[in-house]
Amino acid sequence: MKWLPLVDEFTKENLALEVDHRLESGDVIAVLDKAVEQYGAPEFMRSDNGPEFIAKKVCRWIQERGFQTAFIPPGAPWENPYIESFNSRLRHDLLDVEEIGSLAEAKWLAKDHRYKYNHIRPHSHLGYTTRAKFAASCLAPLRPTASATPNSKTKPNNQPNLS
């Protein structure tokens, strides 16, 4: 299974955690569309050079919306620390301890993990508050009202970051 996390570098929030048997450019665009609708448009999106991120459709989608990309150099995960940290935590807390039997189960576990990561687990760099509380306290005035409430990888200052 392929996992696609989207992490905000400023709030450290996990904006999306999608899982499927495979993830292609159209899937990435759908996740980005939903994140932009809910959290607002980023200035930059950082990602690795995975085929689903460098695909012409994704690059065109980003360009049409006025975002900029910040691709990390191949073999330089330290240039994408927020998502690397998130991926490490995802592996430690979920993937290494759960025996996932189906895609439906993986999707449920992803939703549960995302909730716990954002709403229950405190973050030391955020004054030991949760990511959701931190985001609500500093970004609420900046965010639009939402109409609805490869192991991938982050963004500067309130921008989704992919890998």
Which pLDDT tens digit goes with each residue over 94-112?
A: 999 999 999 999 999 999 9
CA distance 161 to 163: 7
Model-level pTM?
Answer: 0.78
Q: Which of 136, 110, 155, 150 is nearest to 9 (CA)?
A: 155
Each domain of the chain, given as residue ranges in start order, spans 2-161
Residue-averaged pLDDT of the chain: 83
2-161 CATH, one of 3.30.420.10, 3.30.750.80, 3.30.1360.120, 3.90.1150.10: 3.30.420.10
Question: In this structure, are residues 150 and 50 in contact, taking their beta carbons and an 8 Å threshold?
Answer: yes
> Which residue is associated with the tokens 């665009």?
29
Which pLDDT tens digit goes with each residue over 53-89?
A: 888 999 899 989 888 888 888 888 888 888 888 999 9
